[in-house]
């Protein structure tokens, strides 16, 4: 998978050199490039924003640098096969990010993250990008961040670990929270007694059927208590 990120804060993404994503980059499974949006400006001040048409608070990101930056990134696509790129604009006004979306995007050969700042990007950039790629406007959740960078990073981590060939133990992916529409069961390790707290005895019983039943009950109880909305869907 290839990932391109467009941002005015390229240094944000230096953490992607470490951890699982860092390993995937070293092994060649994920090829990742970060592009400074200001490299696609042509004025002395490297301006990326301007006041909003129609008035209102804040600044809006200008379309021209975005157009030029995306031209360079999307041109590299195979022109014969139609675009296989998915361009993601993180935005609090987008569709909510879910494990299902992460799973879907993990199969795409090329992801581009366009990280907006201020009050967002001129909407024509989104409309124009739809003429040459699949576009998704995606929100991390119902709260407002200062820009798309942290949202892009969270999505890259969630997507990256699902890329085929990524994690050593595929079972750890299917048994975790959200994979079956339920939250994960609680986990324990040694010692069996810690500060007078026992590990649930069923986990020490060696009875695999009983353990599976207990874990499923825990998943249901936890989901009912913390996220009843997941059960009503």
**Residues 70 to 99: which contact ligand ADE by CB under 6 A?**
90-92
Q: Which residue, 30 or 88, has its beta carbon nearer to ligand ADE?
A: 88
We find the least distance from the C-beta atom of residue 212 to ligand ADE, in angstroms, to be 36
Residue 148: other Cβ atoms inside 10 A: 29
Helix (H, G, I), strand (E, B) or coil at 89: strand
* 153 counts as binding ligand ADE under rule CB under 6 A: no
Give yes or no for a contact between 58 and 119, defined as CB atoms under 8 angstroms apart: yes
β-bridge partners, 96: 139
Which of residues 29, 145, 167, 180 is near ligand ADE by CB under 6 A?
Answer: 145
**What 8-state DSSP symbol labels residue 166?**
-
Alpha-carbon distance of 29 to 11, in angstroms, equals 22
Helix (H, G, I), strand (E, B) or coil at 208: helix
The CA-to-CA distance between both ends of the chain, in Å, stands at: 32
* 59 counts as binding ligand ADE under rule CB under 6 A: no
* 57 counts as binding ligand ADE under rule CB under 6 A: no
Alpha-carbon distance of 83 to 131, in angstroms, equals 10
What residues contact 194, with CB distance under 8 A and at least 6 apart?
A: none
How many residues line the site for ligand ADE (CB under 6 A)?
Answer: 12
Binding track over 156-195 against ligand ADE, x by CB under 6 A: ----------------------------------------
* 12 counts as binding ligand ADE under rule CB under 6 A: no
We find the least distance from the C-beta atom of residue 149 to ligand ADE, in angstroms, to be 8
β-bridge partners, 32: 3
Q: Which residue, 87 or 203, has its beta carbon nearer to ligand ADE?
A: 87
Which of residues 14, 43, 80, 143 is near ligand ADE by CB under 6 A?
Answer: 143
- Residue 120's nearest CA partner among 55, 74, 72, 58 is 58
Q: Which residue, 150 or 167, has its beta carbon nearer to ligand ADE?
A: 150
* 141 counts as binding ligand ADE under rule CB under 6 A: yes
* 148 counts as binding ligand ADE under rule CB under 6 A: yes
Alpha-carbon distance of 97 to 143, in angstroms, equals 13
Q: Which residue, 41 or 139, has its beta carbon nearer to ligand ADE?
A: 139
- Residues in contact with ligand ADE by CB under 6 A are 90-92, 139-141, 143-145, 147-148, 151
């Amino acid at each position: 998978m290839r990932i391109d990120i467009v941002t005015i804060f390229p240094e944000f993404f230096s953490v992607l050199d470490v951890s699982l994503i860092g390993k995937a980059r070293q092994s060649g499974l994920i090829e990742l490039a970060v592009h400074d949006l200001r490299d696609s400006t042509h004025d002395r001040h490297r301006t990326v924003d301007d006041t909003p048409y129609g008035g209102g608070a804040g600044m809006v990101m200008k379309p021209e640098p975005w157009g030029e930056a995306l031209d360079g990134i999307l041109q590299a696509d195979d022109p014969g096969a139609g675009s296989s790129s998915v361009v993601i604009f993180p935005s609090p006004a987008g569709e909510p990010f879910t494990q299902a979306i992460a799973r879907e995007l993990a199969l795409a050969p090329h992801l581009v993250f366009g990280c907006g700042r201020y009050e967002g990007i001129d909407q024509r950039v989104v409309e124009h990008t739809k003429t040459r790629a699949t576009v998704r406007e995606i929100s991390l959740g119902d709260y407002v961040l200062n820009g798309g960078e942290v949202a892009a990073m969270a999505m890259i981590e969630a997507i990256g670990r699902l890329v085929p060939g990524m994690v050593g133990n595929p079972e750890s992916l299917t048994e975790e929270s959200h994979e079956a529409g339920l939250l994960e069961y609680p986990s324990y390790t040694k010692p069996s007694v810690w500060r007078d707290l026992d590990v649930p005895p069923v986990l020490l019983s060696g009875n695999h059927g009983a353990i599976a039943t207990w874990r499923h009950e825990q998943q249901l109880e936890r989901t009912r208590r913390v996220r009843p909305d997941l059960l009503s869907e």
